[in-house]
Amino acid sequence: MVKLIIFDFDGTLGDTQSLIVSTMQATLKAVGLPIVSAEECASTIGLPLKECFTHLMPMDDTTASHCEKTYREIFSEKNKQMKISSFPHVIETLKTLHEKGMVLTIASSRGHESLDDFVRDMKLESYISLVLGAEDVKKAKPDAEPVLKTLKALHFSPDETLVVGDMTYDILMGKNAGTKTCGVTYGNGKASELRDAGADYIIDKLAQLPGLLF
């Protein structure tokens, strides 16, 4: 029986694709690198920030670090101008799950401070028991560490846990930790990719999640 649900943030709870993609493209322009398509940028969402850039094109570690630093600076400014909202049904669904006794957490490759800001702005604090960001783990998705660290902190086992995310990295993270996994199709990933990654469930809107569990 599922008692703990670990959610990805970008593309699963928060509709951040436009902000992330525009920031990545602005970063590439600022550091003098070729600008890639929005689709290519979106395909890296879920990876640690530095890896997003090395995934897009070959570059040395110094350049990747420069991209990471520049991204954070640009993101900080853009985030003041672009209001981020939750996807449809997210807040109501989290409320329903919380009221039914589910423990809800977030595991993301986004920085912890940024996650805390989004959770507060979206008024999710009363539903989320734990937030793990990029700097909270040594090994990021698709490694199992974010899940295993959550299980240890909250005293749950893999067979009591469901990982929910929009990218293959989320599904693989859950599978590597031995949990059940659920892919969502409304974010940055495709249903076929989530299926190929081995997702146990695939849903088109988060409001379908309680129906899978109860």
Q: Which residues are catalytic?
A: 8
Q: Which amino acid is at 83?
A: K
Closest CA to 189 of 20, 21, 39: 39
List the Cα angle 93/95/175 in 5-degree steps: 55
Instruction: Compute the half-sphere exposure of residue 37: CA atoms within 13 Å on the CB side of its CA.
Output: 3
Q: Which residue has the tokens 């734990």?
A: 130
Task: Work out whether the CA dihedral 94, 99, 100, 104 comes out positive or negative.
Answer: positive
Question: Phi then psi for 203, rounded to 5 degrees?
Answer: -125, 155
Q: Are 17 and 186 spatial neighbours (Cβ–Cβ below 8 Å)?
A: no
Structure tokens, 1: 């029986």
Q: Which amino acid is at 102?
A: M
